[in-house]
A and B are shown apart, each in its own frame.
Chain A
């Protein structure tokens, strides 16, 4: 342990400052952008993992399932508001959603949570208000749109005959294991089980498992996001900004590519306020928090590629419909 720490620290401290001088500015900027996504997201991912561990260790197994309303529509509506209590950035939501699924949330419900929470949380709403106020209904459409799209997805996937097949085999195994464990410990409840030191060991074990699932995805997603940003010229995107249809498509593509955090994407969108129509901004603010390169990489740890293609298609179509509708009415 000590050796490893000293090794990492000394590599960092003694790496020659000229390393990378041979790289072109474009490539260096791509790396800088990717690193900034990592440095920005990492604390949120850690927070999500810690919350997920807390949910699994300290929340009694049927606590959630018992307390949520029974009607599936109301239930999903309530689940989409979880972000108000857990204002974690979208990258932190994936580990948390995994934890919630292991605690009895259905696949459809956890998707609703995953998609709604980045938009329906106080930080995002306040920041969007700071950036846009009530101008053009951007804030209202963002909230309503985020809620509708997330519940639509939850409803669609709740109709799947075998929801477990939406999950990756690896996560299915983890779920099955959690179910066995719950059955085995039924009656005892999680609360009373195990000493403090056993819980600490378990927490560390979960941390190792969750970081093994999440961090490689985060690194790959960030690298791709950084690389694409220097590969696609922004002139192309801005040139189409004034077209009612193409402006929506362009900003959604941009949202997909830049993988920016939902807590602050409103400020970023503000920079496009002058060149782009409001419908395009709304599509950007609804689509971006739900689906982008980094999120897809993170969600791939849990859902099959096929599921993610379907989710992306539906979310994209629904966000585009909202954006185009606003542009048509404006």
Chain B
């Protein structure tokens, strides 16, 4: 087991990672984890890794057979040379015999198996998931600057029909006058309860600049007393309505919804 692990652990982990990556790419869910600008690079490197993994399955057993056939660790030849750092290790193991060393070796093997198993479960068994309100609550909502294109969009007279949650959130940070907006606001996002006002929740999305690790929540506040009866945190909703002054007297306008419907999580749950 131990010998098998030493020889194959890297190749197996690489294979798991590559299968997971390519599968996410094929099912259009790579975006759950990384920014679209990395898609091509990620897929190309995964394909290159496939070549090496296939090569390893073809070559490594062959090397092993030849090494056993050969007279000993000093056997000459290009490939065998590369085997013999392993043989050095064998020597070291033999030298540190005794119960402590063998217990440590068993522990090492167990850890190695655990890493492979854990990786396989996380990457291959668990369904791909996006971040939830648990993370949104632990990060600053509508932080001062979100990503490279965070200049607030032009609004007055601008076309707001294509605005995302992020655009609206950036705009609302400037406390604009609701009277400037005649067109209805349409946004889709997940429900994020407001920490301050029980009558308000945010229609929120995560904005991602590199990968989910740097996800920052952005959201448009929706004023709807009793919203808790219809929705719970993390539900995806499509909201339509108009901006109005915050009935609680806050400086920033809120969305007064005219329609609010549950919806499916969109194919690309993050905004960029």
Residue of B nearest to A16 (CB): B127
User: Which residues of A in the span 216-240 have a Cβ within 8 Å of any Cβ on B?
Assistant: 216, 219-220, 223, 225, 229-230, 233-235, 238
B135 within 8 A of A: yes
B110 within 8 A of A: no
For the A-B complex, the count of residue pairs with Cβ-Cβ distances under 8 Å equals: 250
A33 contacts B52, CB within 8 Å?
no
CB distance from A30 to the nearest CB of B (A): 9
CB-CB nearest 6 A-B residue pairs = A211-B10, A212-B10, A274-B144, A43-B45, A36-B212, A264-B210
Q: Is the interface of B mostly helix, strand, loop or mixed?
A: helix
CB distance from A94 to the nearest CB of B (A): 14
CB distance from A43 to the nearest CB of B (A): 3
B156 within 8 A of A: no
Which residues of B does A touch, CB under 8 Å?
A: 6-11, 13-17, 19-21, 23-24, 30, 32-34, 38, 41-42, 44-46, 48-49, 52, 54-60, 63, 78-79, 81-85, 88-89, 92, 112, 115, 118-120, 122-127, 129-135, 138-140, 143-148, 150, 209-214, 216, 234
Residue of A nearest to B13 (CB): A215
Stretch at the interface among A75-83, A138-146, A255-263: A255-263
What chain B residues lie within 8 Å of A173 (beta carbons)? 85, 88-89, 92
A220 contacts B115, CB within 8 Å?
yes
A39 contacts B21, CB within 8 Å?
yes
Partner of A201, one of B63, B120, B138: B63
Residue of B nearest to A261 (CB): B210
CB distance from B267 to the nearest CB of A (A): 16
CB distance from B60 to the nearest CB of A (A): 6
What chain A residues lie within 8 Å of B57 (beta carbons)? 1, 4
A305 within 8 A of B: no
Known: A201-B79, A219-B13. A15 touches B210 (CB 8 A): no
Q: Is the interface of A mostly helix, strand, loop or mixed?
A: helix
Partner of A230, one of B54, B123, B134: B134
Partner of A205, one of B79, B124, B139: B79
Interface residue tally for chain A (C-beta within 8 Å):
87
A31 contacts B126, CB within 8 Å?
yes
Known: A1-B57, A43-B42, A270-B145. A34 touches B122 (CB 8 A): yes
Question: Could you pull out 21 A-B pairs where Cβ atoms are within 8 angstroms?
Answer: A1-B58, A15-B127, A33-B213, A36-B33, A40-B34, A42-B45, A46-B49, A50-B48, A130-B148, A193-B78, A204-B52, A205-B63, A214-B10, A225-B213, A230-B138, A260-B213, A268-B210, A268-B214, A270-B145, A273-B144, A275-B144
